[in-house]
């Protein structure tokens, strides 16, 4: 596995829409492994492929140590409630803002084996799902924030 370079705010790639993954190849699986290692090394709880310069609809999330969610072609299918919490981003280290996000989110995605599954999260997990899915559409938390911290 390799640690990848995380792009910083201002990089044009972060504002582009990622393309769907058509086939899960060994290269895609290696990218997922590298993204997990990169996210953990950087101390984050989520990372999207565009943040490492790859315009594919892939994200990894780990809000609870040892439980990693691999999201390939994720699509949020349900959300409810509301939370206003502080949010940051590995692409904008040291900066935070308060965002308005749903309290509960359900996402449909594929795992590395090509199996479709649904993941429902609340609180931090819901926020992370929204944050990473936004990255896949070229959107940053500063676009949804309500206040700067």
- Is residue 13 packed enough to be buried (19+ CB in 10 Å), middle (13-18) or exposed (0-12)? middle
Structure tokens given for 18: 């990622």
Active site residue 62: no
- Intra-chain end-to-end CA distance of the chain, in Å: 35
Give CA–CA dist 139/149, Å, rounded: 19
Residue 149's SS3 state is coil
Catalytic residue among 11, 70, 132, 145: 132
Q: Which residues are catalytically annotated?
A: 132
């Amino acid at each position: 596995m390799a640690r990848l370079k995380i792009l910083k705010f201002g990089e044009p790639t972060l504002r582009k829409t990622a393309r769907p993954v058509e086939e899960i190849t060994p290269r895609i699986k290696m990218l997922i492994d590298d993204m997990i290692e990169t996210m953990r090394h950087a101390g984050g709880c989520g990372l999207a492929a565009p943040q490492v310069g790859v315009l594919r609809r892939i994200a990894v999330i780990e809000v609870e140590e040892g439980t990693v969610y691999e999201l390939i072609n994720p699509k949020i299918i349900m959300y409810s409630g509301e939370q206003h919490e502080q949010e940051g981003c590995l692409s904008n280290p040291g900066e935070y803002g308060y965002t308005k996000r749903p309290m509960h989110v359900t996402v449909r995605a594929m795992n590395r084996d090509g199996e479709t599954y649904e993941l429902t999260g609340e609180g931090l997990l819901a926020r992370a799902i929204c944050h990473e899915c936004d990255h896949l559409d070229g959107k940053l938390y500063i676009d949804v924030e309500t206040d700067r911290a």
